[in-house]
Amino acid sequence: MLDTISWGEFLKGLGTALILYYGLVFIRYFRSDFSGFLKKEKKSMLSGRLGRSEYGLEASLMHRVGDLLLKIDQEVVPKAQNKQELIEHLRSILLRSQLPDKPEIRGILLSHILLASKVRDLEITKEELLGMLNEA
């Protein structure tokens, strides 16, 4: 009787039996973990669709800051010929950006602009930048 069963059929049967066994073990011992995971995923997908995710606003804000830094690096700093021109361009771009006045954002902008101005040898002082940020 065992001569009529090929190795391929035997391995398929063994694989099916193992899948069924481990499926039952998973259902028996990990059902609550799995259902909690599904509920959490469903809730995050739903809140993401509604735009109320807990990190959605912060991620959007950081994306806007990143876009602003990229614009400063690609458009403002390379075109400035002197320090006064750089300050004027920065002032106008910061006024148009309408970013909230948060200390974290100010710190990021301040350090990035200071480094970018040093690269172009248009060294702006921290006080000049703080004055410009207070105006914006």
Name the pLDDT band for 32 (thresholds 50, 70, 90). Answer: confident
**Mean pLDDT, residues 41-69 taken together:** 68
Record the pTM: 0.53
pLDDT tens by residue, 87-123: 888 888 888 887 777 888 888 888 888 888 887 777 7
Contact yes or no for 94/129 (Cβ under 8 A): no
Of residues 25 and 45, more confidence is placed in 25
Quick one: pLDDT band at residue 43, thresholds 50, 70, 90?
Answer: low
pLDDT score for 114: 83
- In this predicted structure, the answer to whether residue 14 has a pLDDT above a threshold of 90 is yes
Report residue 85 CA to chain centroid gap: 33
Q: Are 91 and 78 in contact (CB under 8 A)?
A: no
| 17: Cα within 13 Å, side-chain hemisphere | 6
| pLDDT-based confidence at residue 9 (cuts at 50, 70, 90) | very high
- What are the extents of the domains in the chain? 2-50, 56-135
Distance of CA 29 to the CA centre of its chain: 35
